[in-house]
Amino acid sequence: MSELSLTPKKSMPPVHLSDLSLKERKLKCEELGLPGFRADQVSRHWYGHLSNDNTSWTDMSRADIETISEALLPQLLREVRTLDCDGGMTRKTVWRLHDNSLVESVLMRYTDRVTMCISSQAGCGMACPFCATGQAGLTRNLSAAEIFEQVRAGAQAMKHDEIAGGEGRISNIVFMGMGEPLANYNRVITAIHRIVKPVPEGLGISARNVTVSTVGLVPRIYDLAKEGMPLRLAISLHAPDDELRDTLVPINLQYKVSEVLDAAWHYSETVKRRVSIEYAMIRDVNDQAFRAEMLARLLVGKDVHVNLIPLNPTEGSDWTASRKSDEQKFVEILERFNIPVTIRDTRGREIDGACGQLAAKEVNVQ
Ligand code: SAH
């Protein structure tokens, strides 16, 4: 399959229904010489019934279906491959975009929820040295529809009983796939509108169950607080001190720990939501007791929750996950300061689908 080794041309895709609000879809239909209510009908099929098989759209004339499909429903995501693990409850999908860029999404089924981890960019420009995506750099931003269609594909897989555990729905979305969501701000917000607005505008997933995870692009965190949506915010902190964070999360050279946390507290007070602090536990790098205490002092008394992520291995890095004993000590110190802390159950490691492992390696596979 030499097709897969083509280099991306790095161009944005054609416009798609999911780039547009319902109002814009109506205008588009009118521009195409169709009645505006066709927008409503096609949207009910697309977002309500999750049906992209237009032969079942019996409420519309064939000619109109063809006009709309041609103008507004280009196929944006082509499945390159899917990898399942956890007895079929975790599925990673590698998607090829129209310009041959590759991105990945991961669907994870738990007893009480179904979470989709989606990508907002092809590659990532943030260059965190422990993250596989960061190593290859940024290819390009995804369009709103390219972001959203990952969710729709997952919702469709759940509806069609393709995931172990039976038919179901996606309940949670996390922007923890490839890319820095706040570096592609406007398109990510548009995609979130499609995710949270009810049918026929979008999928109707609760905004409270949508998590935006960021390295800490401070001005964009303030913007996010103004969006009027109760989204969850996760900050990838990984170190409590600027000296270490400058090396682990290079954007820290621009926005310091204190500025990132001030923005996070502003977010939590404005939106009235607890903020998550993500902390990848890297053996002998950021997992010492003194750093746990430093972290605790920064967070004490705030509406916050700490998620410790055992470092997932990535190619070419010598870093590894913390010893269990150090991890335990870290937890104890945070708990001593009454800071809620959990250790993330890292799903999908064996299929390179866990945090920081998404690299769309298939470019090199024949
Ligand atoms: N760019 C965003 C979202 C993508 S990464 C961000 O940085 O928040 C999602 C989470 O996985 C981030 O907290 C990220 O720092 C973390 N992560 C990256 N590489 C990892 C690795 N090798 N092991 C564990 N977590 C990792």
Res. 359: pLDDT tops 80: no
* High-pLDDT (> 90) share of the chain, %: 87
Cα–chain center distance at 311: 18
Same domain? 47 vs 80? no
Q: How does 309-346 read in b/e, with b if 16+ C-beta sit within 10 Å?
A: bbbbbbeeeebebbeeebbebbbebbeeeebebebeeb
Q: Which residues pair with 307 in a beta bridge?
A: 278, 342
Same domain? 218 vs 344? yes
Nearest atom within ligand 1 for CA of residue 311: 23
The answer to whether residue 105 sits within a structural domain is yes
**Ligand 1 centre and the CA of 268: distance in Å?**
21
Beta carbon of 237 within 6 Å of any ligand 1 atom: no
Q: How confident is the model at residue 152 (pLDDT cuts 50, 70, 90)?
A: very high
Last residue of a domain, one of 72, 90, 116: 72
Last residue of a domain, one of 44, 72, 100: 72
Atom 19 of ligand 1, nearest CA residue: 356
Res. 365: pLDDT tops 80: no
Average per-residue pLDDT in the chain?
Answer: 94
Tens digits of residue pLDDT in 251-301: 999 999 999 999 999 999 999 999 999 999 999 999 999 999 999 999 999
Res. 362: pLDDT tops 60: no
Instruction: Look up the CATH number of the domain holding residue 27.
Output: 1.10.150.530
Res. 143: pLDDT tops 80: yes
The per-residue pLDDT for 9 is 64
The answer to whether residue 9 sits within a structural domain is no
Same domain? 198 vs 305? yes
Largest CA distance in the chain: 68
The answer to whether residue 121 sits within a structural domain is yes
Same domain? 105 vs 206? yes
- The pLDDT of 92-113, averaged and rounded, is 96
Atom 1 of ligand 1, nearest CA residue: 180
Nearest atom within ligand 1 for CA of residue 319: 22
- The domain in which residue 26 lies consists of 17-72
The per-residue pLDDT for 177 is 96
- Strands 341-343 and 232-236, sheet pairing: unpaired
Burial status of residue 90 (CB atoms within 10 A of its CB: 0-12, 13-18, 19 or more): buried
Tens digits of residue pLDDT in 47-62: 999 998 999 999 999 9
Same domain? 62 vs 140? no
